Chains A and B, each alone.
Chain A
């Protein structure tokens, strides 16, 4: 219970951090993230969920959780492939930045929490985190990455990803709800 609360708090801190970052950007009226940095943040956010899924595939024995993790790995990989194809076409090289670094630092903490769990405790922690993580990534994509994208194709790609993130969120909530009923 304490661990999953901590993970949710991490996700919220990330979300708040992004809002603060976003509002600072807006206050300056001057884009702080280049398209190369937006691309890096987008790829990083997707890779993190693939990493979480890999831990689930290793640790979970719940068929529903395993199928969800497989979908996360496949879908986020498909998004990365689209993003990589687009940046190559645009001649942009994804550039590491404060947002990508924050995402990676928070993900490391979450991975440690996940690795410390097993059985039903793991399943609950993983799914709770998937709910929180997708909520924070949806907010970051909508409120930060889309507004920060200068290139229309990059913006369109990010917009196209939102419905998939929302479907993942609803799917995770559905599993969360079913687990709480058992």
Chain B
């Protein structure tokens, strides 16, 4: 009685794993959203220019000893909270944007969504 259920479960897991590996979501509507990493170190965003797909996540990780943030360039769209040393912040990318650090305005970066 239990075996068929288990097999179904396994089948489900296998199917899920295959979809994940081939990069398709359950809806089949498009590729699985990726996560991109931007390291903040030595007072720079690395990489300073990043290309992503709509819905991808960008994680900013502060590896410096000083506090930084990530502020959309116009200052009106989005802004991270202050990111102390060793902390991180993530954002789902919907539209292209340029950004800077409001504490150190000489630090700049850009995300291109396409």
Contact = CB atoms under 8 A, between A and B. Distances in A.
Interface of A: 67, 71, 74-75, 78-79, 82, 160, 163-164, 166-168, 170-171, 174
Given A82-B65, A164-B43, 20 more contacts: A67-B103, A71-B104, A74-B66, A74-B67, A75-B66, A78-B67, A79-B65, A163-B42, A163-B43, A164-B64, A164-B65, A164-B66, A166-B43, A167-B107, A168-B104, A170-B106, A171-B105, A171-B106, A174-B105, A174-B106
B14 interface: no
Nearest to B102: A67
Nearest to B105: A171
B3 to A, nearest CB: 59
Contacts of B67: 74-75, 78
The 9 closest A-B pairs by CB, nearest first: A163-B42, A167-B43, A170-B106, A75-B66, A163-B43, A71-B103, A167-B104, A78-B66, A78-B65
Interface string B88-114: 000000000000001111110000000
A56 B101 CA distance: 21
11 contacts: A71-B104, A74-B67, A75-B66, A75-B103, A78-B65, A78-B85, A160-B42, A163-B44, A164-B66, A167-B43, A171-B104
A75 B62 CA distance: 14
Interface residues on B, range: 10 to 19
Contacts of A78: 65-67, 85
Which secondary structure dominates chain A's binding surface?
Answer: helix
B66 A160 contact: no
Which secondary structure dominates chain B's binding surface?
Answer: loop
Nearest to B44: A163
Nearest to A170: B106
Interface string B25-64: 0000000000000000011100000000000000000001
A119 to B, nearest CB: 24
Contacts of A166: 43
Contacts of B65: 78-79, 82, 160, 164
Nearest to B104: A167
A24 to B, nearest CB: 31
A182 B41 CA distance: 34
B42 to A, nearest CB: 4
Contacts of B104: 71, 167-168, 171
A164 B64 CA distance: 9
A80 B42 CA distance: 17
B107 to A, nearest CB: 7
A71 to B, nearest CB: 5
B25 to A, nearest CB: 40
A75 B66 CA distance: 5
